[in-house]
Amino acid sequence: MDILVDGLHDYMLDLIEEKNPVLVEMELYAKKHDFPIISPLVGRLLYQYTRVINAKRILELGSGYGYSAIYFAKSASDDTEIICIDASEENKNLAISYFKRLVITNIKYIVGDALEVINQIQGEFDIIFNDVDKKQYPQAFKQAVPKLRKGGLLITDNALWYARVLELKPERISTKGVKEYNKLAFSDPRVFSTIIPVGDGICVSIKL
């Protein structure tokens, strides 16, 4: 869904002159198979934030076939540790095939329930990217914040959820999950949050 004034999303996309052919292929795959991935504009934000805070340890919760992870990897230094978690073995295999083509070697991909696996990983992260099932969003927030270092970023996709967050009494459990997540992100004193209206809305929370 385009949450910007008609034409502005396409205008910003057109500003991207250099388009990586592998990323373009991944975008076409998503369109063909109706597979949800972040917007390239969101990818650029991930790239930028990685550079801004000089991230050395990044965790993804719900990685799909690796599209967002590539933006992190392309921005980060070779010694940055990137861990992807997704429930699908098929997604993992497809992601690894793309990583190999782009000569990306610093991504570890774990198959499993992201909210279970995160508890098994030791240490803090500079960035945690959250894109799990929307009904799991509130729990993802609760588990991710303690895993962030001070000054680290929790970045969550679909914060505006196709404008369904405007529903006063949502029936979908997914919409309830996103709305509860946003409330937590803006009320928890451990973080300071902003929703950026790009793509389907990106909630960026910095740990104080």
Q: What is the DSSP string of 105-147?
A: -SEEEEES-HHHHGGG--S-EEEEEE-S-GGGHHHHHHHHGGG
CA atoms within 13 A of residue 53's CA, in its CB half-sphere: 23
Q: Is residue 68 part of a domain?
A: yes
How many percent of the chain have pLDDT more than 70? 97
Q: What is the pLDDT of residue 202?
A: 97
Question: How do residues 194-205 score in pLDDT, each as one tens digit?
Answer: 999 998 999 999
Residue 121 lies in a domain: yes
Residue at 156 is within a domain? no
- Sorted by sequence, the CB contacts under 8 Å of residue 140 that are 6+ apart come out as 61, 114, 115, 130, 132, 156, 181
Name the domain count of the chain. Answer: 1
Element (H, E) at 59: strand 57-61
33, part of any domain? yes
Q: Is pLDDT above 70 for 193?
A: yes
Predicted local confidence at residue 2, as pLDDT: 54
Q: What are the tokens at 4?
A: 């910007």
Q: Tell whether the model's pLDDT for residue 143 goes beyond 90.
A: yes
Top pLDDT among 14 and 155 is at 155
Is the pLDDT at 177 greater than 60? The verdict is yes
Residue 15 falls inside a structural domain: yes
Q: What range defines the domain where residue 132 resides?
A: 8-148
Can you tell me the mean pLDDT for 97-122? Answer: 96
Distance of alpha carbon 183 from alpha carbon 174, whole angstroms:
14
The answer as to whether 54 is a domain residue is yes
Q: Residue 44 is which amino acid?
A: R
Within-domain flag for 142: yes
CATH code assigned at 50:
3.40.50.150
DSSP class of 160: S
Q: Is 179 a member of any domain?
A: no
